[in-house]
Each structure stands twice: as C-alpha cells, then as structure tokens.
C-alpha cells in the first residue's frame, strides 16, 4: 500500500502518491500563461524563487477547462518540480498500488480520509506526468 494525498479538482478526486516524490500544498499564486505551450501547460508560477510549470490537469482528465483553483500541489520528482491546480485537499489515504505508464489512471476505491467507507479516486503517477510534460514541451 502506498500513502497518497487526495485532492479535488473540478469535482474529480485525485490521489497523488506521497512515496517517492516530494509534495507540498500551497495557495495558488499568479500563473503567467504561455500560449504556445497550451493545452497541457497552463503557464509558469514562481514558487520558492523558481519558475515552476503549472500542469492543466483538466486537460489530462478530458474535462472542460477549469480556472480559478485556489491551491497548487507542488510535486518534485527526479529533480523536477511541477504544480498541479486543486480546489481543495481531501486528506491522506492509502492506494492499493501505483499504476505506471499513464499520468492519470482509472478510478479505484480507496479508504476515505475521514474513515467513512471508501471513495473513488483517480491515481496520478508523478513520474509519468513529468515525462508527458517533457514530451509535450519538446514538440512546441
């Protein structure tokens, strides 16, 4: 079982594995758009003095655009940081396993953080997300 931070974006619950990646939740700051990098990249945000790419998770989820997320979940994997917009944190839970290969996996049930049964979440693979972003930016 892998520990995961559960967050919500546009009504969708996502699980971000806490093992193997540094993870930090911050209030969303200003994001400077980069039109040439759309649709996967919303832009850059300055976090701890570094320009960090803000990934458009709504695009990866196949959902309509979502603006105005109040939080950024900053994950650092393999020395690279990316910011993920989120509306709110749901708490910590455990994933039965971390799917590899796709940035966002299919929904699966996990224990609800409040202990009230289970909740369906879509697991996020930080390494696959960083790789997808790299490939996208190489094409633009």
Say if residue 97's pLDDT is above 80.
no
DSSP 98: -
Rg (CA), the chain: 14
Tokens of residue 101, six digits? 């290969």
Question: pLDDT for 18-34, tens place per residue?
Answer: 777 788 999 998 999 88
Instruction: Determine the pLDDT at residue 49.
Output: 94
Q: Residue 83: what pLDDT? A: 93
Range 53-72 average pLDDT: 80
How much is the pTM?
A: 0.85
Instruction: Spell out a b/e string for 36-68, using b for 16 or more CB atoms within 10 Å of the CB, else e.
Output: ebeebbbbbbebeeeebbbbbbbbbbeeeebee
Q: What are phi and psi of 118, to 5 degrees?
A: -125, 165
Q: How far apart are the C-alpha atoms of 93 and 136, rounded to whole Å?
A: 31
Question: Does 78 or 43 have the greater pLDDT score?
Answer: 43
Burial of 121 from C-beta contacts in 10 A (0-12 / 13-18 / 19+): buried
Answer left, alpha or beta for residue 40, where phi above 0 means left and psi between -120 and 50 means alpha.
alpha
User: Which residues on adjacent β-strands are paired with residue 84?
Assistant: 73
Q: Check residue 90 and give its pLDDT.
A: 92
Number of domains observed in the structure of the chain: 1
- Per-residue pLDDT for 2 more than 90? no
Domain containing 88 — which CATH number?
2.40.50.180
Kindly indicate the confidence band of residue 40, based on its pLDDT and cuts at 50, 70 and 90.
Answer: confident
- Terminus-to-terminus CA distance in the chain, angstroms? 38
pLDDT digits (tens, 9 = 90+) for 73-87: 999 988 889 999 999
User: What mean pLDDT comes out for the span 113-121?
Assistant: 83
What percent of the chain lies above the pLDDT cut of 70? 92
Range of the domain at 31: 2-139
For residue 111, the SS3 value is strand
């Amino acid at each position: 079982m892998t520990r995961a931070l559960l967050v919500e974006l546009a009504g969708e619950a996502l699980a971000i594995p806490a093992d193997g990646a540094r993870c930090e939740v911050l209030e969303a700051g200003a994001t400077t758009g980069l039109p040439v990098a759309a649709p996967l990249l919303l832009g850059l945000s300055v976090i701890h003095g570094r320009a960090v790419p803000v990934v458009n998770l709504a695009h990866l989820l196949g959902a309509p655009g979502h603006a105005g997320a109040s939080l950024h979940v900053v994950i650092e994997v393999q020395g690279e940081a990316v910011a993920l917009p989120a509306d709110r944190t749901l708490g910590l839970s455990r994933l039965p396993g971390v799917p590899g290969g796709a940035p966002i996996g299919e929904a699966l049930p996990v224990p609800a953080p409040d202990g009230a049964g289970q909740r369906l979440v879509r697991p996020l693979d930080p390494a696959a997300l960083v790789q997808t972003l790299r490939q996208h930016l190489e094409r633009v």
